[in-house]
Structure 1
Amino acid sequence: MRKIFFLGIGFSALVAGYLLSCTNTTTTQATQEHIPDRVSYNFDIRPILSDKCLTCHGPDANKRQAGLRLDDPESAFSALKEHPSAHAIVAGEPQLSEVFLRISTKDTAKMMPPPASNLKLSSHEIALIEKWIKQGAKYEKHWAFVAPKKPALPEVKKEDWPKNEIDYFVLQKQEQKGFSPNEEADKERLLKRLSLDLVGLPPTLDLQERFLADNSPKAYEKVVDELLKKPAYGEKMAVYWLDLARYADSHGYQDDGYRTQWPWRDWVIHALNTNMPYDQFVTWQLAGDLLPNRDNEALYKQQLLATGFNRNHKITEEGGVIPEEYRIGYVTDRNDLFGKAFLGMTLECAHCHDHKYDPFSQKEYYQLFAFFNSVKEVGIESVIGGPETYAKKPLMEISNDDVKNILKFINKPDTNRLIVSVMSDLDTMRKTHILRRGAYDAPGEEVQPDAPAFILPFNKSYPKNRLGLAKWLVDRQNPLTARVFVNQVWQEFFGKGIVKTSGDFGMQGELPTHPELLDWLAVDFMEHGWNIKRLVKQMVMSATYRQSAVVTPDKLASDPDNIYLARAPRYRIHAEFVRDVVLSSSGLLVPTIGGPSVKPYQPPGLWEGATSGRGLLSMYVQDHGASLYRRGMYTLIKRTVPPPAMTIFDASNRDLCEVKRLKTNTPLQALVMMNDPTVLEASRVLAAKLLQEKSTAEDKITKAFRLIVSRRPGKKEVTILSSYYEKELKKITKQSAEKLLAVGEYPIPAQVDKVQLAALMRIVNTIYNLEETITKS
């Protein structure tokens, strides 16, 4: 009798078949109705293997058991090393496939995964694997590692609904699942959503009036175009890129000294406003110093400044550190950033060993590492001190003449030296070694610069430097670059990406909810010159984007996560834009673009309680005047003590690359809106402006509501707020009014009645504290 063995344990096919017939027949029958007609390796089988099997039978050779790789068909179909008469998978024959026999048995001595692993396949997963083997066990390359092709637009029943190509893919999925899309949002809510998404600010009253009065077919598109042209567009879009690029105003670590990387931030805003193509935008930041334009001083200085992107990482200034350990840390940071930001890959998992889930070896990690390993830098350059330590070598100095004639987009407010950390390589490349267990002092085999071939082989015509890596990255055949960026932009407008795990397109990441749509967008983006504004306009012009956010009980029950996009998303806006809404609606906002970061109101003692006591950032010295009213993106970020109000609203502290922020809902957020000096001051200032207008109390309340919430209040809302105002007028005394109004530095008009001002301030503050105020819906 033929024996079947798996992982060193043998048992007869007859007994196995008997066990199978006793234990699995009813399970398979029970789940058969849920199994697709054609089982896909990419979308049905690979996720199971990734979750339950690849830790022991995946790419990591050091952790592999029994010499078996289940992610590699050559290994899976081959005879088992220890028992050549047995095979893990026999195409078409589940009963002869050790994988199926072991996952379906009830014998705990033979069961896979082993019970001790606390992993277990469900009956549905077992049935999927059984049917996949019956259908020939066809392996497929991971979907994200195959260059996207532009699919044809799908056919839909509701042909009058789509407004552009995006909608066909979305509607097809809805119709397959029995959903129908929401109606379009009303004009007021749609305008607020659009304005927050494109410029990060609520729409002005003038824009509200114009849009509401315009009944032409192009009314919405005209507003889209108008907002895309505003300088505030570049500021809004830059915020997510600053998270990704880990931009901050301090070096990090214990001393956490001041740094001057803000000119790079000015460049990002400028590049986005001028609609620099994404391939160029990326290339300049990765390798602007290597581009062949040194004879063109104006162009070269912009390209060099762009490389500040790769110098935003934390840098130590502490004495007693081991320089090489920290230098290796800086290179590691750049390498991991490259993987997460541009490839959507968790490359850092291969820093110490082969990746456990993706086909990425430790050797390939250090081959990529080699591109970033020749920067003219040291682990520690100096101790905390004067302006020369605000940037670390290699650096560029930006003169007043540069700002006047070349780098005109830089907002340089004084005549002090301005220096920025940028990229520049040594004349001779540093040798790069595989670091055993990732230790800086344990060099192993020497490696040469190369990109992971499983993504795309490195073109021999490309130079083996960062410029060549940038060319490889934006190669039209690279399967990841366009997909990853399109997904990040989608996330900005819909709350989550088509691939929910926007930083992980690998085998442990989520599958795309609309894979054909993702591929169509990626290819279309490349076909149209990597045009970012065009991509943004496509998304916001779609019927999918314009839907109402109203959710019916049946949709909430059947699709609570809105996977099928049968309604618009509803979520709180980012921390920076919470501040921007408050400042803009009150009239306090200073709309200056760019320049050094500012220090607005902050609770006392935070920096002083967490500092080495050295440098410009050892004590918090609050700014005054116009600096108090800048947009949230310009608030100074000290990495060890980030701005508390921003942190409470889930802003990044910019330690590492972050492509997706958390979204939490905590009581602390409500406390900020009720007590933060900026919110209270804005309430006072707006109330004072309204009191100086010749209008009724109801008119003032209505105007405040429109400025803040961006819609006309209902009759009941006006009645409630008016009643509250009358009660406050009777309750507030001159003494209590003085106390209420004593917040913020903006002056109180001399002629205003302070009791009336305090009462109206309470009403305005109440409107600021409505959930709707800081919610995109």
Structure 2
Amino acid sequence: MPKRFIYFLPVLIIGMYACGGTSSNSSRDLVDADQISYNFHVRPILSDNCFACHGPDPNTREAGLRLDTEEGAYAALKENPNAHAIVPGNAKNSEIIKRIVSDDPGEVMPPPQSNLKLTEEEKAILTKWIAQGAKYEPHWAFVVPEKRPLPSIKDKNWPANEIDHFTLAKMEKAGLTPNNRAEKAHLLKRISLDLTGLPPSLELIREYLQDNSEDATETLIDKLLADPAFGERMAVLWMDISRYADSYGYQDDNIRTQWPYRDWVIHAFNNNLPYDRFITWQLAGDLLPDTNKEKILATAFNRNHKYTEEGGVIEEEYRVEYNVDKTNTFTKAILGLSVECAQCHDHKYDPISQEDYFSMFAFFNNTPEKGYEGDVGQSKPAKTPIMWIEKNDLDGVLSFINHRDTARIMVSVMEDFKDTLRSTYILDRGLYDAPSREVFPNTPVSVLPFDENLPKNRLGLAKWTFDEKNPLTARVFVNLIWQEFFGAGIVKSAGDFGMQGDLPTHPELLDWLAVDFRENGWDIKRLIKTIMTSATYQQSAEVTPKKLELDPENRYLSWSPRLRLSAEHIRDLVLASSGLLNREIGGPSVKPYQPPGLWEAATSGRGELAAYRQDKGESLYRRGLYTFIKLTVPPPVPILFDGSNRDMCEVTRGRTNTPLQALAMLNDPMVVEAARIMAFGLTQQYRDTPDTAIEEAFTRILCRPPSKQEIDLLSGYFDDELNRFTERREDITPLMKIGDRPIENGMDEPDVAAMMQVVVALFNLEEAITRT
């Protein structure tokens, strides 16, 4: 793009920034703590400062002192049998208090060399807790959730459903009041982007804004939940979780064909497959008594990790590595536990031992999967075990797969040995070649003991996962959905519900949602509708100085968070609003515009992906979900906007603000080409009324009608650009050549170029790519 192009954007282009959602929790909840809670006040202090040396891991425990259990904390000290770390009801005689208030460097805890230091507030909390009896509580996330009575509230008129009782009770206690309902145009954009990842069409905008019935918003939600784009929007989240990519990773990073699994995920969300079946099929669809190719295809979830195709590797080392990835993905995404460190030693903070880790590992260790199947010159686009998708499958049980040619497709799926059982051992320090004691498939007792009546395979693991006494599964998923719509989960650390994770801002609400989700058949669309029909969700995004002072991170949800769109949906918005978007669902990934030389500079130079071959035609304009992901060189523009690189399970994306994002929105060929196409269409339709063209462009991009002041500003900019291009027609052609769409007759005219600049300016408004 010509460098001078960026100099002519008006003052109305605001630098893009990411607006936060809800906040992280501190260990001190903003409540009047007359009664100190171990879970919400004390455990976070001990976990951050003490458990590394006095916690669950016996290998690093010092002085024989364990502070994560009441038995250990109340016991006589090993070095001084007449003293106790904690004496319930007597802070003065508790050694822990003597140590934390000491000025002696040789006695004070935490020790100076740890670089940890308690605040005066934290010391006061521990002192008060011990004086009140030092009552220990089970970790909140390991206690089965219960539906508690709705909390009492003062404003009886505000709540629209049960969710609002919980959020309003917190607001009232903090001296806050909720916002009014968002204006209809803002609410429409919010709901449309949250449910489909796409801006509403002009027709939908007019239809909704003119519908004054009481159930207009509920009707809109139902309509968009039924839109096939819903499955694509939800699949973006699940591709991050399932670490989906189109290549194998490592140095050679050759092509693989897991995309039918992505088609299945879209299909499952659109058909509202209950969450228990959605996960069971992915964990163990091949082991179900009534299994078929669809259920086996779902197990590709387990096979999306990286694979090596480098000669000379040790096969067993990588086979172990692949199962480690499966274990970590299961625990992080479905159980919300960070257990990776237990591969090498007992967890230092959570009651997860190394034996627990390899007992879970054992569920995934009985497959004929290999660690190495030949180098890049011998490899296949799928690894053993493989499922073949035949032509007749596409006319039957796999009819949802978008496959145009007649070639068979290979997909990596799960399969267990039929007549043998591979032994699993605890690996010393996690090393593949250091087996020690044999273990068998099992689950952590701290979460839920494994029912001995269940089969000791992945199907048994799935049944354990959805046992009504499992405290994590429902909580973790409803928290993920909450995060999608509020920018942060009720538990901000969505992949870590353990002791080092964040505490829930609204624990009773989280439990209510979890139990309600389970009681209503794990119905995903119902869960989403419940959240979206709440007054909490439908608030305006206005923020007052008082609210910022009382709750700067919006922990109490007294306004709707402003959230920059995800990388995929920024692309979708640009393409959809311009009319370029190809709405085809499913199929192989595509390679859009990309700066030359990136792949070639970061690859071994071998295999099918040694060089970047950009797609042509309508494939260039597919949704961001379908952009080809090469693990060693993730697509650059999505990465600029915090897209996942997909090399491991990711449950939360960041939202950053960098100058490169603004440069991408100004200069990305996709954005400029979309502006050209939109400008030409609008100019052709409204050649004699440019203000009407500007108004439509504004509405299509920002999803609301413009004000008179906004139209006047944009109209003035259009006139300035029209004069410039009239005087310098040679500047037009270079702009019109950006992108693969050919220049049509009449496109290289000054009014089209001027309108194009207006459209680019609109795309670069902060509001354009922000969900408010």
Q: State the shift of 1:416 in Å.
A: 1.8
- Map Cα deviations across residues 125-149 of structure 1 (whole Å, 9 max, x no partner): 1111111111111110000000000
Residue type matched to 1:86 in 2?
A
Contact 1:35–1:127, Cα closer than 8 Å, also in 2: no
> Within the alignment, does 1:202 sit opposite 2:199 as a pair?
yes
Q: State the shift of 1:105 in Å.
A: 2.0
In structure 1, the partner of 2:657 is 665
In structure 1, the partner of 2:720 is 727
User: Structure 2 CA distance, aligned partners of 1:82 and 1:463?
Assistant: 47
Q: 1:551 aligns with which of 531, 534, 543?
A: 543
User: Structure 1 CA distance, aligned partners of 2:177 and 2:32?
Assistant: 25
In structure 2, the partner of 1:81 is 78
Contact 1:317–1:384, Cα closer than 8 Å, also in 2: yes
User: Structure 2 CA distance, aligned partners of 1:395 and 1:561?
Assistant: 48
> Within the alignment, does 1:650 sit opposite 2:642 as a pair?
yes
Q: 2:250 aligns with which of 245, 248, 253?
A: 253
> Within the alignment, does 1:335 sit opposite 2:327 as a pair?
yes
In structure 1, the partner of 2:316 is 324
SS of aligned partner of 1:608: helix
SS of aligned partner of 1:653: coil
C-alpha spacing 1:433/1:207, structure 2 compared with 1 (3 Å)? same
C-alpha spacing 1:34/1:685, structure 2 compared with 1 (3 Å)? closer
In structure 1, the partner of 2:388 is 397
Equivalent residue runs for 1:509-548 within 5 Å: 509-548=501-540
Q: State the shift of 1:35 in Å.
A: 6.7
SS of aligned partner of 1:444: strand
In structure 1, the partner of 2:587 is 595
Equivalent residue runs for 1:492-507 within 5 Å: 492-507=484-499
In structure 1, the partner of 2:37 is 40
SS of aligned partner of 1:543: coil
In structure 1, the partner of 2:555 is 563
Equivalent residue runs for 1:301-320 within 5 Å: 301-320=293-312
- Map Cα deviations across residues 511-533 of structure 1 (whole Å, 9 max, x no partner): 00000000000000000000000
In structure 1, the partner of 2:189 is 192
> Within the alignment, does 1:761 sit opposite 2:753 as a pair?
no
Residue type matched to 2:113 in 1?
A
Equivalent residue runs for 1:47-446 within 5 Å: 47-294=44-291, 300-385=292-377, 389-427=380-418, 428-446=420-438
User: Structure 2 CA distance, aligned partners of 1:185 and 1:376?
Assistant: 55
Figure out how many residues of one structure are paired with residues of the other and give that number: 740
In structure 2, the partner of 1:624 is 616
Contact 1:685–1:748, Cα closer than 8 Å, also in 2: no
Residue type matched to 2:213 in 1?
S
User: Structure 2 CA distance, aligned partners of 1:758 and 1:219?
Assistant: 39
Q: State the shift of 1:650 in Å.
A: 0.5
Give the superposed CA RMSD: 1.2
- Map Cα deviations across residues 427-447 of structure 1 (whole Å, 9 max, x no partner): 312111111111111111111
C-alpha spacing 1:114/1:753, structure 2 compared with 1 (3 Å)? closer
User: Structure 2 CA distance, aligned partners of 1:241 and 1:479?
Assistant: 22
C-alpha spacing 1:628/1:34, structure 2 compared with 1 (3 Å)? closer
In structure 2, the partner of 1:24 is none
- Map Cα deviations across residues 11-57 of structure 1 (whole Å, 9 max, x no partner): xxxxxxxxxxxxxxxxxxxx9x9972111110011001001110100
SS of aligned partner of 1:773: coil
SS of aligned partner of 2:685: coil
In structure 2, the partner of 1:17 is none
Residue type matched to 2:449 in 1?
P
SS of aligned partner of 2:411: strand
Q: State the shift of 1:87 in Å.
A: 1.1
User: Structure 1 CA distance, aligned partners of 2:322 and 2:699?
Assistant: 48
User: Structure 2 CA distance, aligned partners of 1:374 and 1:100?
Assistant: 50
User: Structure 2 CA distance, aligned partners of 1:332 and 1:665?
Assistant: 34
User: Structure 1 CA distance, aligned partners of 2:542 and 2:31?
Assistant: 31
SS of aligned partner of 1:759: helix
- Map Cα deviations across residues 230-253 of structure 1 (whole Å, 9 max, x no partner): 000000011011001000000000
Q: Which has the higher contact order (CA 8 A, sep 6+)?
A: 2
Contact 2:736–2:748, Cα closer than 8 Å, also in 1: no
Q: State the shift of 1:620 in Å.
A: 0.3
- Map Cα deviations across residues 667-722 of structure 1 (whole Å, 9 max, x no partner): 00000000000000000000111011145110000000000010111111111111
- Map Cα deviations across residues 320-340 of structure 1 (whole Å, 9 max, x no partner): 111110000000000011110
SS of aligned partner of 2:425: strand
In structure 1, the partner of 2:19 is none
User: Structure 1 CA distance, aligned partners of 2:32 and 2:353?
Assistant: 34
Residue type matched to 1:399 in 2?
E
| Worse-matched range after superposition: 61-70 or 78-87 | 78-87
Contact 1:79–1:88, Cα closer than 8 Å, also in 2: yes
In structure 1, the partner of 2:465 is 473
User: Structure 2 CA distance, aligned partners of 1:652 and 1:730?
Assistant: 43
- Gaps of at least 5 residues in structure 2 are 1-27
Contact 1:198–1:236, Cα closer than 8 Å, also in 2: yes
User: Structure 2 CA distance, aligned partners of 1:46 and 1:751?
Assistant: 70
SS of aligned partner of 1:94: coil
Contact 2:732–2:748, Cα closer than 8 Å, also in 1: no
Residue type matched to 2:248 in 1?
H
Contact 1:692–1:752, Cα closer than 8 Å, also in 2: no
User: Structure 2 CA distance, aligned partners of 1:254 and 1:670?
Assistant: 32
SS of aligned partner of 1:363: helix
| Worse-matched range after superposition: 420-429 or 377-386 | 377-386
- Map Cα deviations across residues 715-739 of structure 1 (whole Å, 9 max, x no partner): 1111111111111111113221111
C-alpha spacing 1:752/1:655, structure 2 compared with 1 (3 Å)? closer
Equivalent residue runs for 1:690-729 within 5 Å: 690-694=682-686, 696-729=689-722
Q: State the shift of 1:751 in Å.
A: 3.8
Residue type matched to 2:48 in 1?
D
User: Structure 2 CA distance, aligned partners of 1:399 and 1:99?
Assistant: 67
User: Structure 1 CA distance, aligned partners of 2:615 and 2:604?
Assistant: 22
Q: 2:570 aligns with which of 578, 582, 590?
A: 578
> Within the alignment, does 1:741 sit opposite 2:732 as a pair?
no
Contact 1:35–1:128, Cα closer than 8 Å, also in 2: no
SS of aligned partner of 1:726: helix
- Map Cα deviations across residues 735-763 of structure 1 (whole Å, 9 max, x no partner): 21111111112233324452211111111
In structure 2, the partner of 1:458 is 450
- Gaps of at least 5 residues in structure 1 are 1-30, 295-299
User: Structure 1 CA distance, aligned partners of 2:742 and 2:166?
Assistant: 54
Contact 2:252–2:606, Cα closer than 8 Å, also in 1: yes
| Worse-matched range after superposition: 419-428 or 575-584 | 419-428
User: Structure 2 CA distance, aligned partners of 1:260 and 1:340?
Assistant: 25
C-alpha spacing 1:35/1:689, structure 2 compared with 1 (3 Å)? closer
Name the TM-score, length of structure 1 as normaliser: 0.94
| Worse-matched range after superposition: 388-397 or 247-256 | 388-397
- Map Cα deviations across residues 488-544 of structure 1 (whole Å, 9 max, x no partner): 000000000000110110000110000000000000000000000000001111110
In structure 1, the partner of 2:440 is 448
Equivalent residue runs for 1:672-687 within 5 Å: 672-687=664-679
User: Structure 2 CA distance, aligned partners of 1:731 and 1:618?
Assistant: 44
Residue type matched to 1:413 in 2?
R
Contact 1:491–1:497, Cα closer than 8 Å, also in 2: yes
Q: State the shift of 1:400 in Å.
A: 1.0
Contact 1:181–1:567, Cα closer than 8 Å, also in 2: yes
